[in-house]
């Protein structure tokens, strides 16, 4: 008998028929003798609808009241789900974050879980009930309702799995798992069977949307194996687990692209101490997150700096940089929104040299100019012109033979 936590996303519970299907699926597992804890999101689109309602009332909605509003979507789905299970003749109880006591800090709309009381859930499981928990919500020590940030139901599921020491944590969504790249861009994209937490963190931060990134960090910390899979099929999805030997021998696990950034270059900046700080302090004070930064040293004590910012922040960042440029006597500020960041990710990179060269060679052969490069232990990213991003993704996917399950090292080099 296993303790299984299963989370179903908004598209999986988008209407009554879908909720009933999910309920039937869960009941089957319960009837095999498993202890079942189910976490649900709100019906697809509901949370967005609440946000729109809120801004009709108050331009900048009060954050405490926002959480009271946002948390209602999950209250609806868990109640309907419990009814559907009972309709199958099986006992089920719905629980909200404040009933269980999923205790969070008081940062409304993006609260962090501090601890979870497992007593009430265990009590109901012992009594033979299926327990369905509202995702995305918690409660502060002083009793205020909080939410965990958009996409936060994944975090609820992983945190519950950790707190209850579940045997399995399954995240059901509308795709079959994590792919080697975006199947819409590359028809050879393949579902990955097993991927490490660290790779998943890189892929998630680079734009793969299957799993909320905070839940992956939590899964890593508490060593919770997570199975991402589709609600609409029975096929195995992707396991996100601790790193193992097989993963290391895969050089690259995935290729991602990100079109959400823009580039800013400031030319002929005096190369003196404190310049970077004068440039980046006002940008960060404006709440703009800088990603890649490159500084090239030039002769004559002048240097160039290039960095990327989120595309929606480009105009604001440009204004700030133009101001700083005047103050510090830089020659010119230029920039472009038409860039894309292409990245390859894989724990195999730790032990194998030459992977960066392969990447650069592939881009060169396709005639794609690299504008910026950055690397981490398990990731290499290149900024290129946006119009080449699909071509680059396909070429890299081919070069690292990601359509094949397993690639001998010699072949990839």
Site string for Mg ion, 5-34 (x = CB under 5 A): ----x-------------------------
Minimum distance, C-beta of residue 407 to ligand ASP, in the bound complex (Å) = 35
Centre a 10 Å sphere on the Cβ of residue 90 and count the other Cβ atoms it contains. Answer: 17
Cα dihedral 231, 232, 235, 238 sign:
negative
The answer to whether 73 contacts Mg ion (rule: CB under 5 A) is: no
- DSSP string covering 30-93: HHTT-EEEEEE-PSTTHHHHHHHHHHHH-SS--HHHHHHHHTHHHHHHHHHHHHHHHHTT--EE
The answer to whether 152 contacts ligand ASP (rule: CB under 6 A) is: yes
| Strand 130-134, strand 92-95: pairing | parallel
Is the Cβ of residue 3 or residue 42 nearer to Mg ion in the bound state?
A: 42
- Residue count at the site for ligand ASP (CB under 6 A)? 12
Residues 6+ apart with CB under 8 A from 187: none
Minimum distance, C-beta of residue 232 to Mg ion, in the bound complex (Å) = 16
Burial class (CB in 10 A: 0-12, 13-18, 19+), 268: middle
- Residue count at the site for Mg ion (CB under 5 A)? 2
3-state DSSP call for residue 207?
coil
> Quick check: 47 and 89 in contact, CB under 8 A?
no
| Residue among 53, 47, 158, 157 at smallest CA distance from 109 | 47
Minimum distance, C-beta of residue 17 to Mg ion, in the bound complex (Å) = 21
Site string for ligand ASP, 25-44 (x = CB under 6 A): ----------------xx--
The answer to whether 137 contacts ligand ASP (rule: CB under 6 A) is: no
Distance CA(52)–CA(359), nearest Å, equals 44
Site string for ligand ASP, 50-89 (x = CB under 6 A): -----------------------x----------------
The answer to whether 152 contacts Mg ion (rule: CB under 5 A) is: no
The answer to whether 138 contacts ligand ASP (rule: CB under 6 A) is: no
Residues 135, 177, 254, 346: which binds ligand ASP (CB under 6 A)? Answer: 135
Residues 61, 135, 151, 177: which binds Mg ion (CB under 5 A)? Answer: 151
The contact set with Mg ion (CB under 5 A) reads 9, 151
The contact set with ligand ASP (CB under 6 A) reads 9-10, 41-42, 47, 73, 135-136, 150-153
């Amino acid at each position: 008998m296993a303790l299984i936590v299963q989370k179903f996303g908004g598209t999986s519970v988008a209407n009554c028929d879908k909720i009933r299907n999910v309920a039937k699926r869960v009941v089957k597992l319960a009837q095999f003798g498993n202890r079942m804890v189910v976490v649900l999101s709100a019906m697809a689109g509901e949370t967005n609808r609440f946000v729109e309602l809120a801004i009709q009332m108050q331009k900048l909605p009060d954050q405490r009241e926002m959480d009271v509003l946002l948390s209602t979507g999950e209250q609806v789905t868990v109640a309907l789900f419990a009814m559907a299970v009972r309709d199958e003749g099986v006992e089920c109880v719905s629980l909200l974050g404040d009933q269980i006591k999923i205790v969070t800090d008081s940062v409304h709309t993006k609260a962090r879980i501090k601890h979870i009381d497992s007593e009430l859930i265990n009590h109901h499981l012992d009594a033979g009930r299926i327990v369905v928990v509202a995702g995305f919500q918690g409660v502060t020590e002083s009793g205020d309702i909080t939410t965990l940030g958009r996409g936060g139901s994944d975090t609820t599921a992983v945190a519950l799995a950790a707190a209850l020491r579940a045997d399995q944590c399954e995240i059901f969504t509308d795709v079959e798992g994590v792919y080697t790249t975006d199947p819409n861009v590359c028809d050879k994209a393949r579902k990955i069977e097993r991927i490490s937490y660290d790779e998943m963190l890189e892929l998630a931060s680079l734009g793969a949307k299957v799993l909320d990134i905070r839940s992956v960090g939590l899964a890593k910390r508490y060593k919770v194996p997570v199975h991402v899979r589709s609600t609409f099929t029975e096929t195995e999805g992707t396991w996100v687990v601790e790193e193992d030997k097989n993963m290391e021998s895969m050089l690259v696990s995935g290729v991602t692209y990100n079109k959400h950034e823009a580039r800013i270059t400031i030319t002929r900046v005096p190369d003196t101490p404190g310049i970077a700080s004068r440039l980046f302090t006002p940008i960060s004070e404006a709440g703009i997150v800088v990603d890649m930064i490159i500084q090239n040293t030039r002769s004559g004590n002048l240097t160039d700096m290039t960095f990327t910012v989120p595309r929606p922040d480009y105009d604001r960042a440009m204004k700030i940089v133009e101001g700083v440029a005047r103050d510090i006597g830089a020659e010119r500020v230029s920039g472009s929104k038409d860039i894309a960041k292409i990245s390859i990710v894989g724990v195999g990179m730790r032990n194998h040299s030459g992977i960066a060269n392969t990447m650069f060679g592939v881009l060169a052969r396709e005639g794609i100019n690299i504008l910026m490069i950055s690397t981490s232990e398990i990731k290499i990213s290149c900024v290129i012109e946006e119009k080449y991003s699909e071509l680059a993704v396909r070429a890299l996917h081919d070069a690292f033979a990601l359509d094949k399950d397993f690639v001998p090292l010699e072949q990839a080099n």
